[in-house]
Structure 1
Amino acid sequence: MHPTATQLTPAPPRAPSAQRAVTVALTALAPVSWGTTYVVTTELLPPGHPLFAGLMRALPAGLLGLAITRALPRGDWWWKTAVLGALNIATLFPLLFLAAERLPGGVAATLGATQPLLVAALAIPVLHDRPTAWRWTWGVLGVAGVGLVVLGPQARLDTVGVLAGLGGTAAMAAGVVLTKRWGRPAGAGPLTIAAWQLTAGGLLLLPLTLAVEGPPPRIDAGAAGGYLWLGSMGGLIAYTLWFRGIGRLPVGASAPLILLSPLVATVIGMARGESLSPLQALGFAVALAALLTAQLDPPKILRKEKLR
């Protein structure tokens, strides 16, 4: 029996550009899910408990991930996991929920949109990666675009909320850069890394939550659903995709994807009856253009200038 033509001709390998597009699309699902944090926090979760919200988002998801992977850190990955868990989880989550409680969702999201610029700045001393004018330009335009969408005369700027938003953004930016620098230990996939960091962050939050906020608040059906969503899609699944993308994409391509978070928050607001003014529509277009253009290589003329 002769082999068929299908057996004789192997499927052509996927082009690098197609592989990168798939990686970008999967990685983008993480900030898309994070864009729902603001509406879930304000509509479903009990107010005044940002530490408990961070704990519920992190620890159950992390323990589930450990049960699935059945792997623990080894060697220096114990302290690296503790550092990354402190930055990406234990610091980010409570500050994010605090900002969401004290600021309009759009304002809080705009503060998060500054992350690509912070990542670019931190990449200079940590990764020895000097950002190009191309990356700086689109990073600034992305923040400006998001600002046009969500900021206006009606925006309430609470000092504590602003500091919380900027602090959480800075912590995650540092976590992104260190994750890129340290990579992953052999045999540990993105799900394993996500489980380690969520568990580490949750364990750091546990005693702090009990000491500061006391007993847990009353959890009704809506709050339970909110915690479940934030811990699953916004936690274990999102961070698995995010760490996978950070490992495969240049830091200059992965960081701007965080712009999707405020844009998704804006779309949710529109679905709930809000409308965009012409200036806001322009800002949305600018932010989206910055996000998409950051995934492309600079024009040849700019690359030549850099070589000179």
Structure 2
Amino acid sequence: MTPSGSPTARDLALTGLTPIVWGSTYAITTEFLPPGRPLFTALTRALPAGLVLLALTRTLPRGAWFWRAAVLGVLNIGAFFPLLFLAAYRLPGGVAAVLGSVGPLFALAFAAMLLAERPTAHRLLAGLAGVLGVSLVVLRSGARLDTVGILAGLAGAAAMSAGTVLTKRWGRPAGVGALTFTGWQLTAGGFLLLPVSLLAEGAPPVLDGRAVAGYLYLGVIGTAAGYWLWFRGVALLPAASVAFLTLLSPLSAAVIGWVALGQALTPLQVLGMAIAFGGTLLGQVRTGTRRLPEPVPAPAPAPAPAPARAC
């Protein structure tokens, strides 16, 4: 940050690294991890990383932050992770990832409700550009558009957007850094996923070396380091700006699918990627925050005149 405390291009770039890394989640899921285990995958990604961060920071939430950390852990981790992996298992990687680009529109709506920030015209345009980019990438011949997978991807984007805006609204307790804050949420979300995973999917599967490597990558790079940079950025940048950075995730996933997995990219899909990237850049333009008008308090009644005294 600058001496004046304003965020810099470096802060924006570091925060943007997280959705770029998240774009690799889909390739890792389909190529390295055991099939049909979205809840176990979400649990393995969240809980070990959260417990390690708690052991390193040795700080637990207190007071109101017990329930706040739990709420944020559910939105950012406990709900988002299984929905993310459910979409990844049921859809091609690029299709699943690009659904997340609808998230900025959700974030604009949540910011209006929770932060009293009126959506600006250019950010609404940027959000619509993201939706157009989604349509051009997803609606292509040969795409396996599974309804459950699409709904899971959209619900995950909504949960993550709500968690981002609430994180901005509540901030962090005094003296608590982004690493501690990340550990709280990963642990809360992981403990929520533990019984759900065991009840829905049964005992953990037997893991080979390839799966272990995939889980280590997701846990260390994609989760512990990624969410540390993400929550750091949420504290420094406007909530809407951070939300628009999620458009980088589908772009990353599509490029990885093309380079590493041999997935074809049509000219129309490339156009959609360009539009989505343009929406990311437009979403970073700041023209001043317009806040929704506060209710005007009713004027206090005039005091009654003092009674006249006889001379």
Both proteins in one fold, TM over 0.5: yes
Which consecutive residues of structure 2, in runs of 5 or more, have no partner in the other structure? Answer: 291-311
Report the CA distance shift for 1:18/1:132 in structure 2 as closer, same or farther (over 3 A): closer
**Partners of 1:154 and 1:104 in 2: how far apart?**
11
Q: Which residue of 1 aligns with 2:294?
A: none
Q: Give CA-to-partner distance per residue, 1:178-221, whole Å, 9 cap, x none.
A: 10110000011111110000011111111111111111011111
Map 1:1-308 onto structure 2 (within 5 A). Answer: 14=2, 19-272=7-260, 273-298=262-287
**Partners of 1:219 and 1:119 in 2: how far apart?**
37
CA contact (8 A) 1:110 1:143 kept: no
CA contact (8 A) 2:93 2:257 kept: no
Q: Give CA-to-partner distance per residue, 1:201-257, whole Å, 9 cap, x none.
A: 111111111111111011111110111111111101111100010111011211100
Q: TM-score, normalised by structure 2?
A: 0.88
**Partners of 2:61 and 2:45 in 1: how far apart?**
21
Q: Give CA-to-partner distance per residue, 1:6-35, whole Å, 9 cap, x none.
A: xxxxxxx95879952001101011101110
CA contact (8 A) 2:20 2:252 kept: yes
Paired residue secondary structure (2:39): helix
Q: Which amino acid aligns with 2:71?
A: V
**Partners of 2:24 and 2:185 in 1: how far apart?**
21
Report the CA distance shift for 1:36/1:16 in structure 2 as closer, same or farther (over 3 A): farther
CA contact (8 A) 1:146 1:263 kept: no
Flag the structure with larger Rg: 2
What is the aligned length? 289
**Partners of 1:276 and 1:101 in 2: how far apart?**
20
**Partners of 2:204 and 2:282 in 1: how far apart?**
44
- Which protein is richer in helix relative to its size? 1
Q: Give CA-to-partner distance per residue, 1:244-294, whole Å, 9 cap, x none.
A: 101110112111000010000011022133343322222222211211222
- Sequence identity percentage: 58
Q: Which amino acid aligns with 2:61?
A: P
**Partners of 1:79 and 1:265 in 2: how far apart?**
34
Q: Which amino acid aligns with 2:204?
A: P
CA contact (8 A) 2:132 2:276 kept: yes
Which consecutive residues of structure 1, in runs of 5 or more, have no partner in the other structure? Answer: 1-12, 304-308
Q: TM-score, normalised by structure 1?
A: 0.89
Q: Give CA-to-partner distance per residue, 1:29-60, whole Å, 9 cap, x none.
A: 11011101111111111111111101100001
